[in-house]
């Protein structure tokens, strides 16, 4: 494995662990009536997701299963460009 590939894998693991932890907190919040506030906690920051406003390696947000038209994401906070990309990119079915 190349050094760059190893760094990307490590970064992706960190982001996924952050997302998993946030989801666990949200689940606990729902059990205790946290509702909307808990749902908001399931998203990670753009920084945590390594979001950028431009595509990477032919991948962009509008081709990701997490993208919500016109400019949102199921897992990343804030406005998301359809032409953007982040480390959580997952090919849409």
Q: How many CB atoms lie within 10 A of CB 59?
A: 14
Q: What are phi and psi of 72, to 5 degrees?
A: -135, 170
| pLDDT computed for residue 21 by the predictor | 54
| pLDDT computed for residue 29 by the predictor | 40
| pLDDT computed for residue 42 by the predictor | 84
| pLDDT computed for residue 25 by the predictor | 41
Helix, strand, coil % in the chain, rounded to nearest 5: 45, 15, 40
Average pLDDT by stretches of 10, the chain with 93 residues: 54 64 44 48 92 98 98 98 98 96
| pLDDT computed for residue 15 by the predictor | 67
Distance, in Å, from the CA atom of 43 to the CA atom of 62, rounded to the nearest integer, reads 18
Read off the pTM.
Answer: 0.61
| pLDDT computed for residue 27 by the predictor | 44
Distance, in Å, from the CA atom of 26 to the CA atom of 16, rounded to the nearest integer, reads 15
Q: What are phi and psi of 12, to 5 degrees?
A: -60, -40
């Amino acid at each position: 494995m190349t050094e760059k590939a190893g760094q990307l894998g490590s970064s992706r693991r960190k982001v996924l662990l952050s997302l998993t932890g946030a989801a666990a907190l949200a689940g606990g919040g729902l059990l205790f009536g946290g509702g909307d506030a808990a749902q908001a906690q399931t998203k990670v920051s753009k920084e945590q997701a390594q979001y950028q406003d431009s595509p990477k390696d032919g991948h962009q947000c509008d081709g990701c299963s997490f993208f919500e038209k016109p400019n949102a994401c199921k897992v990343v906070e804030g406005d998301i460009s359809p032409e953007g990309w982040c480390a959580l990119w997952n090919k849409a079915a």
